[in-house]
Amino acid sequence: RARDWMLAHQDQEEGFWVAELQADTTLTSDYVMLRAFLGSLDERIKRKAVRHLEMEQLPDGGWNTYAGGPSEINATVKAYFALKLAGLKEDAPMLLRALEAVHRLGGLERANLFTKIYLALHGQVDWEHIPSMPVELIFAPNWLYINIYEFSYWTRTIIVPLFIIAALKPKKQVLPPNALKELYLKGPSKADWFQNGDRTFLRTLFMIGDSVLKFLEKKQISEIRARAVQKAEKWILERHFKTDGLGAIYPAMANAIIAMKALGYDEKENPTLAKALRDFEDLVIEEPDHLRVQPCVSPVWDTALACYALREAGVSGEHPALVKAANWLLDKQTTTKGDWQVKGNGMQAGGWYFQFQNEYYPDNDDTSAVLMGLQKIDVRDEKRKAEA
């Protein structure tokens, strides 16, 4: 029965398998915040997002970040703000329970940097209370201890557009500036960056460094900063080629859209932004009464494992469904020179990525899974056999 179910759920036209990649409610909350920032938060999205958050709210009033987990401060703060953006008033039962949960979890002070950046975009947190993220880091050479290629791919694709956002500090004031004041226990402070409150040398050094950076920003070293923003912008645009959005993963895609809007892009005139918005909307799963959001899609991974599982379960390597799937996987092998080649010593490209299109970022996990899936399938096409 399992084999029959798998074969029945294959994409009949192209031959791949893909299932929903489930995530927590932070993505739905982020979606509401992004739509509000873009000025496109309509009543349908508000209604369906509120319903999803209502379905997922825990008995103690918070929201978690994994199934069965406890309430988590960032998920709860984001849900609270999303519900307010959707029109709920402070005396709404959902918000009253959520407010208690936020206070119990330490208040808005305990939220992380990414949450506070998204709130700063909406004028709810002062940019002065966000640690400086100098866009000039884009100039750091690869041999320097700190440079963008020391980060993982998904972190890199998240922070490069964040550099632009932090430099330009865009803001969309949908709600009054103090719409979240009730979430604080004490109030915003730079001390919030160090949750344990200790006074270590590194903390002192970081605080001094941030003060220096903020001073320099106020002095507006315009030429250097402008060149750094331009380089970060070019970096982002180049990596929209042959991808389903920047990095083909939700946070990077959202940040890239915000960065492009901050740079003055208009989706009606700029095809890159228009495509980025379409790719982002493809992650939204809309049901009749609610909506939720995937972090990305996983067809290469799902197809590779499906092929391997079906062969292990006794399906012939000559079965038409497996042959079609194998050919689809072979078409997804990337020969694009991606970021990995910065440290790849000029090695030839030839791996696989996770999504439908993410040419710059193949990885070892997917490449290994694809090779496992292909090894016992009889690829009928002679040219394909030679390539395999």
- Catalytic positions, written as ranges: 365
Rounded CA separation 296/366 (Å): 14
By the 8 A CB rule, do 89 and 35 touch? no
Rounded-to-integer distance, Cα 237 and Cα 62, Å:
38
Q: Which position has the token pair 């903020």?
A: 214
- Lookup: tokens for 366: 């997917």
* 293 DSSP β-pair partners: 284
291 pairs with which residues across the strands? 286
State the Cα–Cα distance between residues 213 and 139, nearest whole angstrom: 16
Q: Please measure the distance between the N-terminal and C-terminal CA atoms of the chain and give it in whole angstroms.
A: 31
Residue identified by tokens 């990095």 is 247
DSSP-derived 3-state class of residue 111: coil
CB 125 within 8 A of CB 116: yes
β-pair type (291-293, 284-286):
antiparallel
- 194-232 burial: b if 16+ Cβ within 10 Å, else e: eeeeeeeeeeeeeeeebeeeeeebeeeeeeebeebbebb
> In angstroms, rounded to a whole number, what is the distance separating the alpha carbons of residues 66 and 73?
13
CA atoms of 228 and 284, how far apart (whole Å) = 33
Which CA distances in Å does 247 have to 139, 162, 263, 270, 289?
A: 21, 14, 20, 19, 30
Read off the amino acid at residue 133: M
Q: How far apart are CA 7 and CA 24, in angstroms?
A: 29
Q: Which of 324, 283, 385 is nearest to 31 (CA)?
A: 283
3-class DSSP assignment, residue 68: coil
Closest alpha carbon to 362 in 328, 325, 332: 332
